[in-house]
Amino acid sequence: MAKKIQNKRYLVNRAVYKAVKKYDHQQFENFCADIYKSGWEDGKASVNALDVKDIEAVIRSVKGIGEVRIGKIMEAINEKFDENAGSEETE
């Protein structure tokens, strides 16, 4: 595709630029999809992923929050995670 620079980002060189100018509609869509996927993977790798169990452990460590309140908080968090998982499946 193109050469990589030091921080693992692609640099479009002259040859890639000339090739892209000659692409038909489908080739250009595939090229753009590859760039999007690369960005998506970079974004996923840079996110600090938290697990629901990690969140629950932090909430349990807060003094003054009882089991009933923890249950309600975790229920709301799980609903939000399920809601977001459903929207990712439709993309």
* Residue owning tokens 């003054």: 64
Which pTM value belongs to this model? 0.47
Answer whether 2's CB lies under 8 Å from 10's CB. Answer: yes
Which range scores top for mean pLDDT: 9-18, 42-51, 59-68? 59-68
* Residue owning tokens 């439709």: 90
Predicted confidence (pLDDT) per residue in 8-39, tens digit: 666 678 888 899 999 999 999 999 999 899 88
